[in-house]
Structure formats: C-alpha cells, structure tokens
Chain A
Amino acid sequence: MTPLFQVLLVGVGTYLLRVSLVALLGRVEVPERVSDALQLVTPAVLAALVARGLFIEEGGIRSLDPWHGAALTAAVVAWRTKSVTWTLIAGMASVWALSAAFG
C-alpha cells in the first residue's frame, strides 16, 4: 500500500473517530471503564513513541548519547512551562550544546 493510501485511510479513520458519538447522538452511553481507557490512550501511545525514538535504533537499543540528556532537559521544561514551543527550544538547544561538548 502506497503512503498516499495510508494517509487517506488514516484521514477517513480519523474522521470516523471524530464523528463517532456525535453521529450516535447520545443513543449509546460510553461505559466508565471505556472512557477511562480512552483517557489513558494518549499518554500511553505518546510515551511509546518517545521511548522508541530515544531508545531504539536499527534493531537494537540505542546507547546513551546527547539525545537522552537533551530529552531529560526538555521534559523538565515541558513540565514547568506546559509549552510546546519552549520545550522544542530547550530540547534543541540542549542537544546542540551537549553534542558540541561531548560529540
């Protein structure tokens, strides 16, 4: 399947997720456990994506490098500021500084 079709498929699927309960007009009550699980989907899957990006490479575990120190700095900034922009700036500045110092 070409990337184009994957993009289109995700587009259609995402629309269906967005319209799901709107279309059902409250005729279906979401069980509490399900709504609890939906709230946990985002942190769980984003953490999985972070972990893969930081710790996995070409079929193995990535060894410690400037990325990990920079990620730690960025996490603290994200926690304190709740700002995507500041997190990006802090993370990229740290990775450049650490690479220059240890690279």
Chain B
Amino acid sequence: MAVVPRLSPETWVGARANLPLAIAIVPFALVYGVAVTESGIVDWVGGLASIVVVAGAAQLALVDLIDQGAPWVVAVATALVVNARFVMYSGALSAAFGEFPRRSRYSLPFLMTDQAAAAAILHFQKELDPTKRRRFYFGAASIMVIPWITGTWVGIIFGGGIPDGLQLGFAIPLMFLALLVPTIRERSALVAAVVGGLITVLAQPLPFSLSIVVGAIAGIIAGLMVKR
C-alpha cells in the first residue's frame, strides 16, 4: 500500500514550506502552456523548456521572442539575462551547498527557483546540519518544479482551442507584470523598472528585438546610479 515514496521528514518540511507557492504557480504554468500553443513553436519543444530550463519568466520571454522572429542570439541572451538573478542565489547558497556530497552539489542547483532559494536561505539560518539542509532544499525545490512541469503540459494539451475573443495575447504582458511588481521593494528597483520600460519603448526602432536588452541595461545602470 506504500504508494507514497519514502522521503525523509526534512524533505516533507521543505515541501510543506513552499506548498502555498506551489499552488500559486499553477495558473502561471497554464498560461505559459497556452502561450506555447498560440505561438509558432512546436508544442513539445515549448513543453520541453519546462523540463530543461525550469524558469517561467525566461521561458515565456524565449517563446515570445522566437514567435516574433527575433534572431536566436537575441532570444537566448534575453532569456539568460532574465535568469541572471540565479547567480545571486547561487552566491547566497554556496557555503551551505559546499558541505553537500559532490553529486548533490552539482545536481541540486538544477532545481533552483526563486521560491526554493528564498525558502532555503531562510531555513538554513536555523538548520545547520548539512544532510537535513540538503533534504529540506530537495523538498522545497521539488514541490515547485512538479506543478510547473505538469501545469505547462496541461496548458499545452488543453489550451489549443481557446477562442480569440478571450484576448489571451494580453496574458503574456500581464504575466510579466504580475512577476515584476513584487520585485519592486526599493527605490532603485523602481527606477530600474521605469527607465527599463521607457528606454525599451524608445529603442523600439532598433533591429532584431534588441530594444529589450538595451532597455534592461539602461534600467540597471539608472538603478545603480540612485543606489550608489
């Protein structure tokens, strides 16, 4: 009768810590899946991205740019810029991960998400045992990845027949907006966002969808200037 795999208690603690966020990711996953079906990209390639990239905002940016016919260098670079924040988490977790067995040290970062990193950084302040830390992280990360992959595939499989009247094209900028607002926690981030958005629109005549990268860099520089 033991259908549930035997996982250590710490893994369940990690999973439970991120359960509300894991439920909240489902609508985003569905929207991404539907966006894939609406785009010119073959469905299974868009679904594969959820398994090999495992980062929603970057995947959505990539699908959107490929669909608009951006050159591959611009599409790939933009998606990687969206994911540059993982370097920050990697730094915050490096001391803890350094005490993990080699295999875990190099495999567990693959499951890293905003939510998993945030939960782990918080939990590691009071949990010092490397084995328990590793199990907690595995639980907190897995509980996010499972609904992400499942949700995108459900969106891909059932999203095809949605009528145009529902304006699903709007769901893509809306999704980016929903992810953007919570990142604005201080003035420098607000300046980075406002300048980033403004310069992107002004840079629109640039070829190859370069306006996003140009706008983002301008935003980062402006944010750094107010931060000092």
Contact = CB atoms under 8 A, between A and B. Distances in A.
B151 to A, nearest CB: 12
B171 A92 contact: yes
Nearest to A38: B88
A78 B178 contact: yes
B197 interface: yes
Interface residues of A, number: 68
B201 interface: yes
B215 A40 contact: no
Interface in A62-93: 67, 70-71, 74-75, 78-79, 82-85, 87-88, 91-92
B196 A48 contact: yes
Interface string A36-70: 11111111111111111111100111000001001
B160 interface: no
A47 B192 CA distance: 8
Contacts of A36: 188, 224, 227
B174 A47 contact: no
A74 B201 contact: no
Contacts of B49: 7, 10-11
B193 A46 contact: yes
Contact of B196 (A19, A47, A61): A47
A50 B204 CA distance: 13
Contact of B211 (A6, A52, A82): A52
Given A48-B200, A49-B212, A99-B167, A71 B174 contact: yes
Nearest to B51: A11
Contacts of B93: 22
Contacts of A59: 204
B124 interface: no
A56 B202 CA distance: 10
Interface in A1-37: 1, 3-11, 13-15, 17-26, 30, 33, 35-37
Interface string B87-126: 1111101110110000001100110100000000000000
Contacts of B109: 15, 18-19, 22
A43 B170 contact: no
Contacts of B188: 36, 40
B169 to A, nearest CB: 9
A84 B28 contact: yes
B90 A84 contact: no
Interface of A: 1, 3-11, 13-15, 17-26, 30, 33, 35-56, 59-61, 67, 70-71, 74-75, 78-79, 82-85, 87-88, 91-92, 95-96, 99
Given A17-B86, A43-B219, 6 more contacts: A10-B76, A15-B109, A47-B219, A48-B219, A84-B25, A95-B174
